[in-house]
Structure 1
Amino acid sequence: MSVSMYRLTVPMFQRGLASLKTYLDKAEAYAKEKKFDPAVLVAARLAPDMLPLSGQYQRASDSAKFTLARLTGTDAPKFEDNEKTFDELRERLAKTEAYLATFSVQALEGVEGRQITLPGNSGIVLPGDEYVATFALPNFYFHVATAHAILRNQGAPIGKRDYLG
Structure 2
Amino acid sequence: MANSEISEIKRLFTSRLDVLDHILSVGEAHFADMEATLQERLAEDMLPLGTQVAFACNQPRSFAQWCAGEAVANLSAEVDSLAMARAHIAQTKELVAGIAVDDRKLDEIKRVGLGPGKYCELPARQYLNDLVIPNLYFHITTAYAILRKLGAPVGKADFMTYLMPHVMEEA
Question: TM-score range with shorter-chain normalisation?
Answer: 0.7 to 0.9
Match of 1:57 among 47, 53, 56: 53
Task: Letter of the 1:54 partner, please give it.
Answer: G
How many residues of Structure 1 are paired with residues of Structure 2 in the alignment?
Answer: 157
Task: Call closer, same or farther: CA 1:113–1:4 in 2, change over 3 Å.
Answer: farther
Residues 42-101 of structure 1: CA deviation (Å, up to 9, x unaligned): 111011110100010000111110022224432345544432111221111111111112
Task: Call closer, same or farther: CA 1:8–1:134 in 2, change over 3 Å.
Answer: farther
> Which residue of 1 is the match for residue 111 of structure 2?
117
Checking the alignment, whether the CA contact within 8 Å between 2:112 and 2:120 is kept in structure 1 is yes
Matches within 5 A, 1:1-165: 5-31=5-31, 36-76=32-72, 79-103=75-99, 107-110=100-103, 111-120=105-114, 121-165=117-161
Greater RCO structure (CA 8 Å; 6+ sep):
1
The separation in 2 between residues aligned to 1:54 and 1:123, in whole angstroms, is 26
The list of structure 1 runs, each at least 4 consecutive aligned residues, that deviate by more than 4 angstroms after superposition, is 2-5
Q: Cα RMSD over matched residues?
A: 2.0
Q: TM-score, normalised by structure 1?
A: 0.85
SS of residue in 2 equivalent to 1:15: helix
- Identity in percent: 28
Task: Call closer, same or farther: CA 1:114–1:65 in 2, change over 3 Å.
Answer: same
Checking the alignment, whether the CA contact within 8 Å between 1:13 and 1:64 is kept in structure 2 is yes
Unmatched tracts of structure 2, length 5 or more: 162-171
Task: Kindly state the Cα deviation for residue 13 of structure 1 after the two structures are TM-superposed.
Answer: 1.2
Checking the alignment, whether the CA contact within 8 Å between 2:112 and 2:121 is kept in structure 1 is yes
Unmatched tracts of structure 1, length 5 or more: none
Q: TM-score, normalised by structure 2?
A: 0.82
The separation in 1 between residues aligned to 2:122 and 2:113, in whole angstroms, is 11
